[in-house]
Chain A
Amino acid sequence: MTALLQLSGITKTLTGQDEPRTILAGVDLTVHSGQSVAILGRSGSGKSTLLSLIGLFDRPDGGTYLLGDRDITRLPERKAAALRSAEFGFVFQRFFLLKHLTAMQNVAMALVNGQGWASRRQRRARVLAALDRVGIAHLAKHKPARLSGGEQQRVAIARALVREPRILLADEPTGALDAETGNLVVEVLRSATDQGCGLILVTHDQDHAAKMGRVLRLRDGVLA
C-alpha cells in the first residue's frame, strides 16, 4: 500500500503571552491510500494543531513531513496553497459555509481559488457530481439558511471532495450535529476512502472513531 503522507518526529510549541507550551512532542504518523485514521484525545491535547500541520495551515517546529516522497516540511506559502488546493480536502466542526452563496456556489469556492481554471460548465458539472456524491444534489440552489445542520455539513464535505483530494482532513465534523446526523456524516466521509482517498478524522466520539480503519490517541504530545 502506498504511503500518502508520513510524519516523523513532528514537534510544535505554541508561544503567546503565557509560557511556551509544547503541544506536539514528536508525532509519528503514516497514512496510506484508502486508509481511514481516527485521532482521539482530550480537549487541548493538540489534535487540531496536528491537523493544521498536516493540512499545511501551519509549519512544524521540528521533524519531517513527507507527502508521497516529497518533503514538504518547510514549504513556502504559495506552494502550500497550491498543495492545499490539489491534495487536501477539509471538513470542520463549524461548517464554514458562506451564507450569501448557494450550496452550489459554496462548493464551487474550492474550484475558484486561482489554482487553475475550469469553465463555468465544467465547474457546474464537478460541483453537481460532488453534491450528488453526498446525496444532496437536489439542494444545489439552496442557501445555507434553508439547509439543516446535516445538510450543511454535507455541503461542506462536497466542497472538500470537489477537487478529488488525496487526503481528507476532518476536524470534529460531527461536533455540531445530533447523533443520527453525525453517523450519516461519518458514513459519507468514510465512503470517500473507497475511492482511494486517505481520511484523518479528529473526534471525541468513540463510536465514530470505531468506524475508522485505525484509531490513535494523542496524549502528552505523542500519538499512540
Chain B
Amino acid sequence: MSGQLRSALIIGVQGIRARKLRTFLSMVSLFLGVLAIVVVQAGSQVAERAMLADVELNSGKDGTAQLFVPSNPKVPQVLAETLTGRSDAVAMRSTSATIGEPGVRALNPGASPFEGPGAGGYGYPMTCDSQGNCTSGEDQSVPKGVAIEVRLTSLTGDVRQFRPYRQESGRWLDFDSAPSLAPRIVLNKQAAVGFQRYRVPAQMRIAGATADPTPQIIGVVDDGGYGAAAYVRQDELSNWVPSTTATAGTPDPRFGGGTSVLLSGAGTDVERVLKSRLAANGVDPSQLRTELVQSRARAASTLNLMRWIFLGMAALVLLIGVAAILNVGLATVGERVEEFALRRAVGTSRLLLAGIVLAETLLTGLFTAGAAIGVGALAFKIAVPLLGSGRMAFLRDLSFPWQAAVAGIIAGLVAGVLGGSIPALRAARIPIATVMRA
C-alpha cells in the first residue's frame, strides 16, 4: 500500500473512533438501504433457483427443437422406423396407464400426485352439454381399489440429453439392450410416493393394449412434474400396444394430446426426413410445427427484469441513507475545519485530505454492508429451513448467495463514495492561511 493510502486509512479510522456515535447514526441511516439491496439480490437468487430449477426438466434444455406431431394411426410406426437407434432425436408419447387391481378406480384419478399441490386427485374430466350442464367422467359404478394411475410416456431413445431428469434411485432405461416382454418402467418421484404408500399388484392396464403386462419398476427419477408419471421404452410398450390397434396413434388428451419429437436443434436432416415420411403417411404437413426451446433464457430474462425493478426500489432506499451520510459528512467537515487546515499545514495534500474524508465514509459504508450482510445471512439461515420443509423444498440445501454479499459490499462502497464526495471536496478546499490565523 502506498503511503497516501495508509495515511488515509489510519486517519480515517482515527476519525471514526473519535466520532463513534455519529458514525453509528450514519450506519443506522444507511443500514436499511444496504439491507434492501442484499435482500433483493438474495431474493432474486432464490427466485432464480425456484424458477429455473425444473424448467429444463419440464421444457427441455435451451436449443432443443420440439416437433409436435398430430394424432394419426401411422405416426407410431413412422416414428419407430425413423428414430429407433438415433441419439439426436427422441419421440415421446404419453398415454394413461393404471397399475394395480384390475377393474377398479385408481387411488389418484388423472395421475394426480399423492402429496403437495393437487394431492387427492385432479378429478375426472367433466363433460358439458350446450346448456352448460356438466357431468363428471367418473364411473361411479366402478369400485375404488388399490391401483395407481400414471401418465405413461413411451420413448424411442434416451431423452435425458434434452430433459436432464435427475436419477433418484435405481437406474434409467437401457435403450441398447433387447426389449423385454415385461415392460421396464422408471417412475417419477410422485408415482414413487404412491408405490411406497400402497401395496399395488403388478398388473398394468394401458389404453389400447391387447393384454395387461406385468411391469418391472427399475428406477425413480425427478422429472420436475407434479403428477404421477412413468417412462417406458417405446419398443417394449409396442409389444402390448401394437400400432395396428385403433387407439395406437391417439395419445391421451389429458397428457398433452399429441406426440412430440425432441431434436438436437432445428432444421436438422432427421427433422426433414421425419416430416417427409409423416407427410407421405397422411399427416398434414401444415400441422407439423417445430418450436425451439428457450424457456430458461426467457425465464432468466423475466427474472432479470424483475430483479432490476426491485433493485431500483432498493436503490431509492439506499439513496436516503446516502443523503444522511452526506448531511453528517458536511456537518463533520464544518466542525473539523481547523483539523483539516492543520493537516494541510503539516504537509497533507488536498488530494489526501479528500481521501481521508472518503476513507471515513467508505469505511462507514463497509461496516454497514458487513452488518447488513450479517443480518441478511442470519435471517436466510433461519428462514430457509422453515420454508424448505414445506412446499418450497427446493430451498432446503440453499446457502446464502455470495452475489448478495457482493451486492451489499458494492452498495456500501457506492453509498460511501456518494455520501463522502461532496464533504471530501469541501475538506480539500479549506484555506490554511485563513483558518490558522483565526
Complex Cα distance, B8 from A221, in Å, reads 40
Complex Cα distance, B10 from A101, in Å, reads 12
A101-B14, A114-B7, A117-B3 given; A78·B351 CB < 8 A: yes
Partner of A81, one of B6, B10, B17, B344: B344
Q: Which of B161-169, B305-313, B335-343 binds A?
A: B335-343
Complex Cα distance, B4 from A100, in Å, reads 22
Does chain B have a CB within 8 A of A125? no
Complex Cα distance, B7 from A110, in Å, reads 11
Does chain B have a CB within 8 A of A48? yes
**Cβ B3 vs Cβ A84 within 8 A:** no
**Cβ A109 vs Cβ B346 within 8 A:** yes
**Cβ B348 vs Cβ A113 within 8 A:** yes
Does chain A have a CB within 8 A of B437? yes
Bitwise, B15-50 to A at CB < 8 A (1) or not (0) is 001100000000000000000000000000000000
Partner of A58, one of B3, B338, B433: B433
Contacts of B338 in A (CB 8 A): 96
Does chain A have a CB within 8 A of B436? yes
**Cβ A57 vs Cβ B432 within 8 A:** yes
Bitwise, A158-193 to B at CB < 8 A (1) or not (0) is 010001000000010000000000000000000000
Contacts of B352 in A (CB 8 A): 113-114
Beyond the given A90-B345, A115-B347, please list 9 additional residue pairs across the A-B interface where CB-CB is below 8 A.
Answer: A81-B349, A81-B350, A84-B346, A98-B18, A98-B339, A113-B7, A114-B347, A159-B346, A163-B347
Bitwise, A97-129 to B at CB < 8 A (1) or not (0) is 010110001000110111111000000000000
Does chain A have a CB within 8 A of B11? yes
Complex Cα distance, B15 from A98, in Å, reads 10
A residues contacting the other copy or chain, number (CB 8 A):
31
Partner of A77, one of B346, B350, B433: B350
Complex Cα distance, B341 from A96, in Å, reads 10
Bitwise, B121-132 to A at CB < 8 A (1) or not (0) is 000000000000
A52-B432, A105-B14 given; A117·B6 CB < 8 A: yes
Contacts of A55 in B (CB 8 A): 345
Complex Cα distance, B347 from A141, in Å, reads 24
**Cβ B8 vs Cβ A114 within 8 A:** yes
Which residues of chain B have a CB within 8 Å of any CB of chain A? 2-4, 6-8, 10-11, 14, 17-18, 338-339, 342-352, 431-433, 436-437
**Cβ B345 vs Cβ A114 within 8 A:** no
Chain A: CB-nearest residue to B349? A81
User: 5 A-B residue contacts at CB 8 Å?
Assistant: A48-B437, A78-B349, A110-B347, A113-B7, A114-B4
**Cβ A116 vs Cβ B3 within 8 A:** yes
A77-B349, A100-B18 given; A113·B436 CB < 8 A: no
Contacts of B7 in A (CB 8 A): 112-114, 117
Contacts of B4 in A (CB 8 A): 114
Complex Cα distance, B45 from A207, in Å, reads 77
**Cβ A112 vs Cβ B10 within 8 A:** yes
Partner of A114, one of B342, B349, B436: B349
Interface centre among A86, A110, A112, A171 (most CB of B within 10 A): A112
Does chain B have a CB within 8 A of A85? yes
Chain B: CB-nearest residue to A110? B346
Complex Cα distance, B436 from A57, in Å, reads 9
Closest 3 CB pairs of A and B: A85-B347, A117-B3, A100-B18
Chain A: CB-nearest residue to B428? A77
Looking at the assembled complex, report how far the CB atom of B124 sits from the nearest CB atom of chain A, in whole angstroms.
Answer: 80
Complex Cα distance, B350 from A84, in Å, reads 13
**Cβ A115 vs Cβ B3 within 8 A:** yes
Chain B: CB-nearest residue to A160? B346
Contacts of A110 in B (CB 8 A): 346-347
Partner of A113, one of B339, B343, B433: B343
Chain B: CB-nearest residue to A85? B347
Partner of B433, one of A57, A100, A112: A57
